[in-house]
Amino acid sequence: MTKIISPSILAADFGNLQAACEMINASEAEWLHIDVMDGTFVPNISFGFPVLEAVKKHCKKPLDVHLMIVHPEKYIARFAKAGASVLTFHYETVENPLEVIELIKSEGIKVGITINPDIPVSVLEPYIDKVDLVLLMTVFAGYGGQQFIEESYDRIAELKEIIKRKNAQCLIEVDGGINAQNTSKLFESGVNVLVAGSAVFNAPNPIETIHDMLNT
Ligand code: DX5
Ligand code: ZN
């Protein structure tokens, strides 16, 4: 089973993003998670293209870009050009998810779809065999450092069941409140990609923490 840690740069020291990227390069993290927030879909603003381009310059790992923005369809080509390898949009933000999925695929990059914890997992069913990844938010999108919502395990099980029934190949990613305490249970539940912001970047030894998350 694929097991990937995707540390979220949102929790890094923005005064020294190069050092954060070098840590990621030296670590067992396979991806780097990039949270783009617009202050409209979510009540917080993070950063945009210039920061993404700067990270791309220093980071050798694929950039796993999580769009928390309205009208993501307007910016897909620019995110692809700025260096996204995986581009994930919120189901809640688009009128026609299939169109957005096709637009992202046409850029030659991986496509992900995501939902907040209050959206039924069943809404994803029509898209599951058309995406590379489904991201289940395990906190409400908007801020790092929140507490993992325990009901998420039921949602993961429901998603797994739909994936199996549809014989789909997509990866399952979770995001929010992931730390060394819940990592092994999440991998055992069938999650493939764990996003971790504060647990990695606030750790005394982030490289070791990433290693432990993969090996506990
Ligand atoms: C929340 C973001 C997350 C966040 C995770 O809206 O999508 O990726 O950075 O942060 P932690 O791991 O601190 O909960
Ligand atoms: Zn995220």
User: What are 129-183's pLDDT values in tens digits?
Assistant: 999 999 999 999 999 999 999 999 999 999 999 999 999 999 999 999 999 999 9
Give the mutation target among 14, 32, 35 for probing the ligand 1 site: most ligand atoms within 8 A of CB.
35
Distance in Å, CA 8 to ligand 2 centroid? 7
HSE-CB for 8 with a 13 A CA cutoff: 27
Ligand 1 atom nearest the C-alpha of 42 is 6
Q: Which domain holds residue 165?
A: 4-215
- Please answer whether residues 32 and 64 qualify as being in contact, where contact means their C-beta atoms are separated by less than 8 angstroms: yes
Reported as a single tens digit per residue, the pLDDT across 34-86 is 999 999 999 999 999 999 999 999 999 999 999 999 999 999 999 999 999 99
Find the mean pLDDT for residues 118-135.
Answer: 98
pTM over 0.85: yes
CA distance 34 to 160: 25
Distance in Å, CA 137 to ligand 2 centroid? 8
Please confirm, yes or no, whether 132 is among the known catalytic residues.
Answer: no
Give the mutation target among 175, 182, 183 for probing the ligand 1 site: most ligand atoms within 8 A of CB.
175
Give the mutation target among 63, 133, 139 for probing the ligand 1 site: most ligand atoms within 8 A of CB.
139
Count of domains in the chain? 1
Options 13, 118, 175, 212, the catalytic residue = 175
Please give the pLDDT value at position 41: 98
The rounded percent of the chain whose pLDDT value lies above 70 is 100
- β strands within the chain, DSSP E: 4-7, 32-37, 63-68, 84-90, 110-115, 133-137, 171-175, 193-196
Please give the pLDDT value at position 216: 82
Distance in Å, CA 144 to ligand 1 centroid? 4
- Ligand 1 site, residue 198, Cβ cutoff 6 A: yes
Please confirm, yes or no, whether 212 is among the known catalytic residues.
Answer: no
Ligand 1 atom nearest the C-alpha of 179 is 12
* CATH label of the domain that carries residue 125: 3.20.20.70
